[in-house]
Amino acid sequence: MAITLPQKQPEGDRPGITPLEIIKRDMPEMEGKALAAQVNGEVWDLTRSLPPRYGQLKILTFEDEGGREAYRHTAAHVLAQAVKRLFPGTKLGIGPAIKDGFYYDFDSPHKFTPEDLEKIEEEMYRIIEADYPLIREEIDRQEAMELFEKLGEDYKVELIRELPPDVPISIYRQGEFLDLCAGPHLPSTGYLKVIKLTNIAGAYWRGKETNPMLQRIYGTAFPEEKDLKEYLERLEEAKRRDHRRLGAQLGLFSLQEEGPGFPFFHPKGMVIRNELEKFWREEHIKAGYQEIRTPILLHRSLWERSGHWEHYRENMYFTLIDDVEYAIKPMNCPGAMLVYKWEQHSYRDLPIRLAEMGLVHRHEKSGVLHGLMRVRAFTQDDAHIFMLPSQVTQEIIGVIELIDRFYKLFGFNYHVELSTRPEKAMGSPEIWELATGALKEALEVKGLPYQINEGEGAFYGPKIDFHLEDSLGRTWQCGTIQLDFLMPEKFDLYYIGEDGQKHRPVMLHRVVFGSIERFIGILIEHYAGAFPVWLAPVQVKILPITDQQHHYAFTLRDRLREEGIRVEVNNRNEKIGYKIRSAQLEQVPYMLIVGAKEEAQGTVAVRERRAGDLGAWSLDQFIDKIKKEIAQRK
């Protein structure tokens, strides 16, 4: 973990001393483990000279985010150096550290192949063995332009041109290689121990479809071989759980050429979806919400009033009706505000909680579409709460508690992030400060630790995001709470106060699942397709041993259906062992095996998909057991 050194610079430290020199002098046991330093909150190279009276100094290892980023950012530079050596004429894009690894984008006349990755890796290890120091230099803008123009690095020249005038320009050198980079980096390439290049993908320069398509090489890096092994095992497990593969295998949904980004839900997938919506409705009724439904197509003027026309238009779809422009809704909130505005409200009516399973459409670029996780049409489990200023904290707490109940049911841990005013935002800084303070207060009342994301709020208000952790330790952003003082003003919403005058309500936007489609994708991977009984598309499979038990099997099926249990009979002409394996591959929670003995005794042999054989049961006993599991949503 990060080690904090004394707050004040020791009197004996000479001007320009580096964190690495301090480590060698005062903490020799940290040599090799220390990867970067945090100086007054900013992550620095260990070899960078400290400023006078540097204040707080922390030494970062691989366990710290800043240390990991420096480690993997250096690996990205080593990758770029190896590619430039092996494939002359390649131009550099960008190469950042990312979660669990790094990548670098290249514009190369050579088309990279999986076989190339092995050669590049070998060259990377030669660069690591050479132990080149990473040397940081700050240069002026003109010198940087001339340097990268001479090298033919057009993409770097473009980046330099667009840097703000007050941003210092730094480059890093290692051996014959240099790159435009803000850093930080490791002291030398020899600090890297274990690297692995994982895959190749296409990526538009700076994410714009109008820009050139570059080749992106992904990789990862760890201090020890065992860490890499664990990571690769997690990757393999993630592939096994891939919701696209399991969705097709289990017959839940499909993605088809006729509708890119528009998923098709099949009968078994609809079972899961309907069960989730049923649970959602039950919990919202208990929490005092009223359900509404608003139109998918609404007039352009509405989106101009809401601000979406100015701030979100590039993500919207449009059509003409009677030569008038309409937009397909990308969000549900304007419709909810029109419902609120339809009738007059008193302060006694508030809070009013309007919930909607609203289908929205957003234009996503084809390159980012990914199964159910990134689509162009999805259903948000939206709600908009209209309240008095005095009710804000309590309503936010109520939403936090609702979200907590949902996530605990599915076995998710989660963490919370608070996002503040973005650069492109509606409203005054004072309004934003008031809204952000209210969200902070609710989180602190609940005792929830949270991370602040500066500048990442929605254009109309700050937000709390809930990030789920699945069974593989991956995180997914799902639930959101957004506080909004601005939309009620833009839509002229009001309530009649105790004084008989008009007052503005405060508005809260929130989702729990986030998107039903995405949440189902997360659940498929979280459970690896083995859904709990209440969610399972088929809860029971009846497996007759011979044709003679078919009549008994269908009699059992009819009884189970009467009890509201989802059941199928496998009456194919197959051996019982094959039928059992087939049901297990389908992830059916319970199998009822029936032969001549069971038919004669009026019983069933119960088999559970994980525990195996549970012995002979009467049908009534089994019905009682499974109905309790379903009712309790175990």
467: annotated active-site residue:
no
Please check whether residue 273 is in contact with residue 520, taking contact to mean a CB–CB distance below 8 angstroms.
yes
User: Which residue among the candidates 329, 374, 463, 541 is catalytic per the annotation?
Assistant: 463
Q: What are phi and psi of 255, to 5 degrees?
A: -120, 125
H-type alpha helices, 171-242: 225-241
User: Which residue among the candidates 9, 38, 174, 380 is catalytic per the annotation?
Assistant: 380
User: Which residue among the candidates 136, 384, 526, 579 is catalytic per the annotation?
Assistant: 384
For residue 266, with 0-12 CB atoms within 10 Å meaning exposed, 13-18 middle and 19 or more buried, which class applies? Answer: middle
The C-alpha atoms of residue 248 and residue 162 are separated, in whole angstroms, by 45
Element of type H or E holding 392: helix 392-409
The C-alpha atoms of residue 625 and residue 205 are separated, in whole angstroms, by 57
The C-alpha atoms of residue 459 and residue 400 are separated, in whole angstroms, by 22
User: Which residue among the candidates 64, 105, 179, 382 is catalytic per the annotation?
Assistant: 382
User: Which residue among the candidates 241, 362, 518, 579 is catalytic per the annotation?
Assistant: 362
382: annotated active-site residue:
yes
The C-alpha atoms of residue 39 and residue 441 are separated, in whole angstroms, by 30
The C-alpha atoms of residue 390 and residue 574 are separated, in whole angstroms, by 67
Please check whether residue 385 is in contact with residue 501, taking contact to mean a CB–CB distance below 8 angstroms.
no
Secondary-structure breakdown of the chain: helix, strand, coil percentages, each rounded to the nearest 5: 40, 25, 35
Across the beta sheet with 603-608, the strand order is: 567-569, 540-544, 590-594, 603-608, 612-618
Please check whether residue 84 is in contact with residue 90, taking contact to mean a CB–CB distance below 8 angstroms.
yes
384: annotated active-site residue:
yes
User: Which residue among the candidates 91, 509, 526, 557 is catalytic per the annotation?
Assistant: 509
136: annotated active-site residue:
no
For residue 189, with 0-12 CB atoms within 10 Å meaning exposed, 13-18 middle and 19 or more buried, which class applies? Answer: buried
- Angle between the N-to-C axes of helices 225-241 and 516-527, in degrees from 0 to 180, rounded to the nearest 10: 120
84: annotated active-site residue:
no
Q: Which of 73, 70, 6, 5 minimizes the C-alpha distance to 33?
A: 70
The C-alpha atoms of residue 382 and residue 539 are separated, in whole angstroms, by 29
Q: Which residue has the tokens 């109520």?
A: 398
463: annotated active-site residue:
yes
Spatial neighbors of 101 by CB under 8 A, at least 6 apart, are 72, 198, 218, 219, 220, 221
User: Which residue among the candidates 333, 549, 557, 609 is catalytic per the annotation?
Assistant: 333
Element of type H or E holding 339: helix 333-341
The residue type found at 380 is Q
H-type alpha helices, 568-633: 576-585, 596-601, 619-632
Element of type H or E holding 489: helix 487-490
415: annotated active-site residue:
no
Element of type H or E holding 60: strand 57-60
Active site residues: 333, 362, 380, 382, 384, 463, 509
